[in-house]
Amino acid sequence: MFDKSAIAETYIVQSGDNLSKISNKYETSVEKIVNLNKLLSTVIEPGQYLEIPDTYIVSEGDTLYKISNKLGVSIPELLEANPTIENPNWIYLEQIINAPIKNEMIYMGNPSKKRIALTFDDGPEDIYTPQILEILKQKGVKATFFVIGERAKKYPEQLRQIYKKGHAIGNHTWDHPHLPELTDQQFNKNIQSTTAEIEKIIGFKPDLFRPPYGEIEDRQVAMLNKQGYRSIMWTADTKDWSGVYAEEILSRVKQDTRPGVIVLQHNYHASGQFETVKALPQIIDELRAQGYEFVTVPTLLGK
């Protein structure tokens, strides 16, 4: 809390609550609550504690410059956190301003449109990746692939196909390490070598990053932010890597379906049962029948 005009609260989820009700109560957005609380699912339970994003109430004589100083953020950061401010020179008394979330990781995107982003981790490779690309082509769907550097080097043509077909590409490290165990030097080398390999193959430098296992230190997120990366997590986990059947994968996605959700799947599996390819057409058909549009992560984020 910065001063008497800044509001920060903790909310205990009540029976019958959902994210929309809570966001409306506090005049904030669903994705800000999700991202601040690092929710890996849109399903919330009674008794669960949620932090409510900081807001600032405009008082007489305030300007964005003054507010940015009070909150300790830059004006561009303030504007990014408040897309409804169309004219930076015009704010009004008692207007509610969202304070930016420091070192933000993105778990879901803008929920104002009925859109969902499908994402695939750990490729490319030459078994599941071609099948997934063919399904996406047949269904007219664009997705986002978070690629491993050493696999991109081994399967450059598959990476080219992903890019050629119009899908978004993100950095998923060189060799899938546990990031909290790395030194800053090791961390930077791992990320930079992967980006360099991707850029060498397709001529494109990704600005999306996903940490292996979804585990990363705040200081590492801050380092990525300074280098221009956006750290992307998920709000619907299919658990497809665990050998679950296609029906379970579909059920998990449907459980968390809501506008703005990011779905985690994989396009690499070492051995054993892996039914992502079988589940994918069902996911697309069922959610599309509900009126959902499938977009890439950058499109979901509005950038």
Quote the pLDDT of residue 2.
37
- Separation CA 106–CA 207 (nearest Å): 13
Tell me, what's the pLDDT at 130?
A: 98
pLDDT class of 171 with cuts at 50, 70, 90:
very high
- For the chain, the farthest-separated pair of C-alpha atoms sits apart, in whole angstroms, at 64
Q: Is 175 tagged catalytic? A: no
Instruction: Calculate the average pLDDT of the chain.
Output: 93
| Residue 65, amino acid | Y
**Which amino acid is it at 204?**
F
Selected catalytic residue, list 167, 172, 176, 266? 266
210, 245 in Cβ contact below 8 A? no
C-alpha closest to that of 3 among 51, 54, 52, 50: 54
pLDDT tens digits for range 78-130:
887 887 888 888 899 989 888 888 778 999 998 989 999 999 999 999 999 99
Radius of gyration of the chain (CA): 20
What distance in Å separates the CA atoms of residue 52 and residue 203, rounded to the nearest whole number? 41
Range from 36-40, 82-86, 128-132, 282-286 carrying the lowest mean pLDDT: 82-86
Query: pLDDT tens digits for 184-219?
Result: 999 999 999 999 999 999 999 999 999 999 999 999
Distance CA 32, CA 76 (A): 17
- Chain centre to alpha carbon of residue 44: 18
**Is 266 noted as a catalytic residue in this protein?**
yes
> pTM (2 decimals)?
0.89
Per the residue annotation, which of 54, 121, 237, 240 is the catalytic one? 121
Within 10 Å of residue 55's Cβ, how many Cβ atoms? 21
